[in-house]
Chain A
Amino acid sequence: MGIKSEETKNETNHALAKISRRKLLLGGAATAAVALVKSSFGEIQTAIPESLYIPADPTKVQGPPPFDLGTRSPFERPLKKTSDTSSRTPLQDLYGTITPADLHYERHHGGVPTIDPEKYELLIHGMVEKPMIFTLADLKRFPAFSRICFLECSGNFRTGKEEMMPQEIAGLTSQSEWTGVMLSTLFREVGIKSKASWFLAEGSDAAVMTRSIPLQKGLQDGMIVYAQNGEAIRPQQGYPARLFLPGWEGNTSVKWIRRIEVSDQPYMTREETSKYTEGIKGGKIRQFSFDMDARSIITYPAYPVILQQGWVEIRGIAWTGRGKIVKVEVSTDAGKTWNSAKLQGPVMDKAHTYFRYLWNWRGDETEILSRAIDETGYIQPTMKQLMEARGRDMGGYHLNPITAWRIKRDGTVLFRPEGKA
C-alpha cells in the first residue's frame, strides 16, 4: 500500500517535471491547463502533463509539493553545445564559479562507456612492491579528499566569426568540487619502487585512453575521484572513477580509469604524440605540455547580449593551472588602459575565479577585454603575442589569448575573432 502511493506520487512529479518549452513560449498561463488533486493539504494545484500553470497570484494557491528530485525552473534552460566528440559549458549562462554537473564540458575519444560500479576495479601494477586491485568500495574506504578545481581541455579555443558566445570560444572549461582518494594514498599502499618516474593511466572506454604522467605529479596532488559536486561523478565525467590532475590539460585526467602502470619512462601513446602536442618555432613540436596557462574571459556582457547605456557590471572568470590568480585587469577602451577588477574570494589554487568590474557605458563604440595574471607573474597574452612566440605552425592546443568584445553603438556585443579558425 505504502509503496503504491509512493509510485502514484512519483508519476505526478514526473508529469510536473515534464514541461514543454514550446507550450511555455506559446502562451504560458493562458493556454495551460491545471488539475487540482486531493492531498492531505486539501486541494492543491498540479499541472497536467505537458503544460505549465503560472498562477496570476502565487500567494493565493498552494504550490506543488516537494519532489524526490529537484529540477531547474522551467524558465531556465542552459544547454551545452555539442559536436560528435565534445560538448561545451554555457559559460555565459552561469553565475559564480561552480559548473552544475550536467553542464560540465565533455571531450571523449570513444564515447561514454556504461560501467557497473559493482564490477569496477582499479589495477595498480608495474614498478611497485605489491600490485593491487581496488574496487570502488575500496577506494571509498580510504581517507577522502575534496577540492574545488577547474578542468579544461587544452584544445579550448575557437574563433572565426563575430557571432560567437563565450561557450563557443572557451566552453571546454568547467569547475567542480571533486572528491576522491589522493593518488599518494594508493601509491603508499602498493609501494612505489625507487627508480620509478612515470606512470601510465588507462581508461576503460572504447578508446582505452592512455596517457603517461610524471610520477611526481601523481604524488603531489593527483587524485582518483569518484564524486563531483557532492554526488557520484557523472558518466560523462568518468563514472565511477577517474584520474584528476589539478591544473593540467583535461586529457591527462583519464576518465573511467581502470589501470595504472608505474614505470621509469613515458609510453609515448598516440594521445601524447600525434595529439595533444603543438607546433612551435623552428618546425619543432612541443610534447608533454601539461600545465594550463592563465586565462580569463568576460562572460557578461558578451555576444548575444544587447547592452543598455548606463552602469554595467562586467563579469567573468579567470583561472590558471599554475596556482592562484592574483589579478585580473579589465580594459574598456580597447586595450589602451587597464584597471584592476575585483576578485571574488576565496581565490583558490587552480580554480576558476570570478571577477567583476563596474563600468558606466555612455553609448560609445568600444572594445572590452580582460587579462589574467597568475602567481608566477604570467600575464595572459594576446593572440599576436602567442603567434609571435610559437610561429607559423602554431597548433591548436594551449591557446589562451585575451578575448575582446566589441560594443557597437546600438548595444550589440560582438566577438573580435583573431587567429586561425
Chain B
Amino acid sequence: MLCLKVRWWQVNTKKLKLKRYLTLCLFLALAGCNRSENLQGPTPIESESNPVNTLDTRDWPESFQIGREAQEDEIARQDIDVRPDGEGLPEGSGTVALGKQIYLAKCATCHGRTGVEGPEAKLVARLSRPDYEGRKKPKAIGNYWPYATTLFDYINRAMPFNAPGSLRPDEVYSLTAYLLYENRIVERDEIVTNRNLAKIKMPAKGLFVNDDRRGGREVK
C-alpha cells in the first residue's frame, strides 16, 4: 500500500468538498502507486488549506545553510537605532546654545527661525496654550512626542533633509537640547548627554494608548 505514503495532509478534511475529494481519488487512481519514493501527491494548495498563509515546512532541513553569519563590525556599522530606555545612544553631549547655532545654520531654512514658521514641519508647540483655542492645534515635539530619545534618533538618521546622516553625535545632542528647550521641556543651561536623554520626561507621554480596535461591530 504505497499509496498511503502520498501526502495530502494539506487538504483540510473537514472542509473537503465532495467534488474535490472525487477528483483527488481519481488522481490517485490514475497516478498509480509505482512512482518514485518521494512522490508528493497532489500539490497542497497552501493558501487555501491554511487560512494563515504559511508554508508547509515538514520536509525542511533544520537549516538551509543559506546566508552568512554577520560579524560584529558589520552590525555596528548599521545599528544606529536608539531605544526609549537610551540603549543605542552613542557617547556624547550637547548644549542648548550650540544647538541654536547649528539649528540656525542647518535647519532654520526649512523649519523657520524659531521652529514654528515653516515651510516644513513645525517643531515647536506646547501642550496647553490658550491661543490654540478654536484653531488647529499644531502637533510638535512639546505636545505630541512621547520620548526624547526619538528626537535624537530621528535627527540622527534623517535630518537635515538635504544632507541626512551628516551630523556628528555631539551636534545631534545639541540640536536635541535646543529643540527640547524651545518646547519648554528643558532649561536653557541643560547639557544633554547619552546618560540623561532617556530620563527627560516628555509632556505628551501620558497621552498615548495602544490601539484597541479589534474588528467586530464597534466603530473605534
Chain A positions near chain B (C-beta within 8 angstroms): 109-110, 123-125, 130-135, 138, 141-143, 145, 147, 182, 184-185, 188-189, 200, 202, 206-208, 210, 220-221, 246, 258-259, 261, 263, 265, 267-270, 273-274, 277, 280, 283-291, 293, 322, 348-349, 374, 376-379, 381, 385-386, 388-390, 393
Contact = CB atoms under 8 A, between A and B. Distances in A.
Nearest to A381: B219
Looking at chain A's contact residues, the main secondary structure is: mixed
Contact of A270 (B153, B165, B215, B216): B153
Contacts of A349: 47, 51, 53
B70 A131 contact: yes
A202 B81 contact: yes
A44 B63 CA distance: 58
Interface residues of B, number: 56
A223 B203 CA distance: 37
Residue of A207, A268, A393 with most partner-chain B CB within 10 A: A268
B150 A268 contact: yes
A148 B79 CA distance: 33
Contacts of B150: 268-270, 273-274
A388 B218 CA distance: 12
Sorted from nearest, which 10 A-B pairs have the closest CB atoms? A376-B215, A270-B154, A289-B211, A131-B70, A208-B157, A134-B67, A381-B219, A322-B215, A389-B219, A133-B70
Given A125-B70, A207-B164, A269 B153 contact: yes
B83 interface: yes
Given A125-B79, A145-B55, A289 B164 contact: no
B207 A267 contact: no
A340 B214 CA distance: 24
29 contacts: A123-B70, A124-B70, A125-B75, A130-B69, A147-B47, A182-B55, A184-B54, A185-B55, A189-B66, A206-B164, A207-B157, A208-B164, A267-B84, A268-B146, A268-B147, A269-B150, A270-B153, A274-B141, A274-B145, A284-B207, A284-B209, A285-B144, A286-B208, A286-B209, A287-B211, A322-B215, A349-B47, A349-B51, A386-B219
Contact of B207 (A133, A285, A378, A379): A285
B91 to A, nearest CB: 20
B193 interface: no
A234 B158 CA distance: 23
A202 B146 CA distance: 21
A287 B208 contact: yes
A35 B147 CA distance: 68
B209 A287 contact: yes
Contacts of A273: 144-147, 150, 208
Given A123-B74, A220-B54, A377-B215, 20 more contacts: A109-B158, A110-B158, A110-B161, A123-B70, A141-B66, A143-B55, A189-B67, A206-B158, A210-B81, A210-B153, A259-B78, A263-B83, A268-B146, A269-B81, A270-B153, A273-B147, A286-B210, A287-B208, A377-B217, A390-B220
A374 B144 CA distance: 33
Contact of B63 (A189, A207, A220, A283): A189
B16 interface: no
Nearest to B65: A189
A130 B71 CA distance: 10
A149 to B, nearest CB: 9
Contacts of A133: 67-70, 74
A187 to B, nearest CB: 12
Contacts of A374: 215
Interface string B96-134: 000000000000000000000000000000000000000
B52 interface: yes
B204 interface: yes
B136 to A, nearest CB: 9
B168 interface: no
B139 interface: yes
A388 B192 CA distance: 42
A313 to B, nearest CB: 29
B43 to A, nearest CB: 13
Interface string B152-195: 01100110010011000000000000000000000000000000
Interface string B75-94: 10011111111000000000
A292 to B, nearest CB: 10
B95 interface: no
A389 B217 CA distance: 12
Residue of B147, B154, B215, B217 with most partner-chain A CB within 10 A: B215
A269 B147 CA distance: 9
A290 B211 contact: yes
A124 B54 CA distance: 21
Nearest to A141: B66
A119 to B, nearest CB: 13
Contacts of B69: 130-133
Contacts of B161: 110
